[in-house]
Amino acid sequence: MDLISNSYANDSDDEPEPVTASPSLPSKRPYPNPEERKLARRPNPPYGSYSDPQTSSSASVPIPVPGRYVSKRERLLLASLPMVPNQNQDSDLMPNLPSSSHTVLGSISDSQVPRHVLSLATHRPKRSSCRTEMPCRMSVSLTGHTKAVTAIDWSTSHVHLLASAGLDGAVYVWNVWSSDKKRVRAFLHHNAPVKNVKWSKQGLSLLSCGYDCTSRLFDVERGVETQTFKEDQVIGVAKFHPDNCNVFLSGGSKGSLRLWDIRANKVVHEYIRDLGPILDVEFISGGKRFISSSDVSGRNISENAVIVWDISREIPLSNQVYTEAYTCPCIKHHPHDPVFVAQSNGNYTAIFSTNPPFKLNKYKRYEGHWVSGFPVKCEFSPDGETLVSGSSDGSMYMYNYKSTELIKKLKAYEHPCVDVAYHPVLPNVVASCSWDGQVSVFE
């Protein structure tokens, strides 16, 4: 009876733990007294503790840690307490997503988009029936940037939305034809000027990059930043792969070109060569190749100004593409023909073949606009019949693609017109932005 009394004398209700007999251990061990058992079985919790403010006891309840044994008494006590999250544990396990309250400014719905825009977006015309028309007036003015706007881009899946990025560090999304608020999203996550912004072809994802050495991915529908891609250089350009929205290419101030996989958040290919700062990149040949443009002004050479790369083998296919000692702030490929153009700081746009050996067309170029001193961009119309270019004199210049003849000059701003973007559906709509922070839509 004494042995039985001593066995039940302790006040713990811990569940018995199975003991596996081992031939190397003695068959019986000295049984600890109750106080020793309490000290041995109640260590300090490694991830903090929770104290019930409504109880007078100063004892704290350990927070369960995965893999640690929890006694029946602990489980009952934890079950009787209110659920209060552990801040330290949550900060380690949960992603640090910013609040969307300050980014959502209005509706991205297309309910107020004109019927002809929606009908064209739903039933997109074929190439033969969609002919570019010349815009003649400013129809929409979008104000909000406080410094120069560096890039604009239309969404191809939601054609009423336009994105813009500026030196004020802001990325805005505009519901262009809304009669209510036109600036519907404001992504202020960059802590330095933003250089470029691009829409994904699938869904409402937006990619931006800038002077804070990051590329950032945004979910426009929810108004949150979803991923950040950090580098060791200022990132001047970032573009989605044309056939895979989970891959994008970035180029920066140290001349590094990197192909990122969004799903793994890591670099899958890196293209290394003795280059100057990367100014622009453009995919060709269905995404199997890409063209890079770098700043060669500091070295007074032109060998690496424009390079064509094999995307999978990480090697340049040709580096003596452009022989003049001018930098090219913009590269664009034709939507249908095997050619691409390079906007030159020599105040003209040069034409090249996308087939090896990627020769320069010495007999044709687009002249008349001014580029020198500003990152002026150009773009082909969706049907490929027109090339539109910005200019440092504040005008938009529209050229016939085949004859290179200047069709129309449209005065847009008093300051340099930096970027231009044809609407993906409407043949007579062109968006543009200026060095003084204006974003406009012409039709």
Read off the pLDDT band of 303 (50, 70, 90).
low
Amino acid 36: pLDDT: 47
| Contact of 327 with 374, CB cutoff 8 Å | no
Contacts of 226 (CB under 8 A, 6+ apart): 97, 205, 217, 218, 219
Percent of the chain with pLDDT over 90: 60
Residue with more model confidence, 18 or 254: 254
Read off the pLDDT band of 325 (50, 70, 90).
confident
Q: How many residues comprise the chain?
A: 443
What sign does the CA torsion over 14, 19, 25, 27 have? positive
Residue with more model confidence, 180 or 127: 180
Res. 76: pLDDT tops 50? yes
Res. 199: pLDDT tops 80? yes
Amino acid 111: pLDDT: 84
Count of CB atoms within 10 A of residue 363's CB? 7
Residue with more model confidence, 69 or 225: 225
* Strand intervals (E) in 67-200: 138-142, 149-154, 161-166, 171-175, 183-187, 194-199
Residue with more model confidence, 301 or 342: 342
Mean pLDDT of the chain: 81
How confident is the model over 148-169, as a mean pLDDT? 96
How confident is the model over 159-176, as a mean pLDDT? 96
Res. 43: pLDDT tops 50? no
Res. 32: pLDDT tops 90? no
Q: Looking at 237-241, 274-278, 383-387, which range is the least confident one?
A: 274-278
**Separation CA 429–CA 140 (nearest Å):** 11
How confident is the model over 363-387, as a mean pLDDT? 95
DSSP per residue, 97-123? PPPSTTTB-S---STTS-HHHHHHHHS
Amino acid 398: pLDDT: 97
Amino acid 140: pLDDT: 93
Amino acid 147: pLDDT: 96
Hey, is 252 helix, strand or coil? strand
**Separation CA 1–CA 343 (nearest Å):** 99
**Separation CA 173–CA 182 (nearest Å):** 8
Amino acid 77: pLDDT: 59
| Contact of 62 with 45, CB cutoff 8 Å | yes
**Separation CA 326–CA 305 (nearest Å):** 8
Residue entry with tokens 């906007």: 343
Q: Which of 28-37, 91-100, 120-129, 243-252 has maximum average pLDDT?
A: 243-252
How confident is the model over 93-100, as a mean pLDDT? 43
Hey, is 405 helix, strand or coil? coil
Residue with more model confidence, 78 or 319: 319
Percent of the chain with pLDDT over 70: 73
Amino acid 127: pLDDT: 53
Q: How many helices (H) does the chain have, and how many strands (E)?
A: 5, 30
Identify the helix (H) or strand (E) that includes residue 210: strand 205-210
How confident is the model over 144-172, as a mean pLDDT? 96
Task: Give buried/exposed letters for 298-334 (b at 16+ CB in 10 A, else e).
Answer: eeeebebbbbbbebeeeebeebebbeeebbbbbbbbb
Read off the pLDDT band of 146 (50, 70, 90).
very high
Structural domains of the chain, with CATH: 1-15+29-49+62-81 (no CATH), 115-442 (2.130.10.10)
Residue with more model confidence, 47 or 44: 44
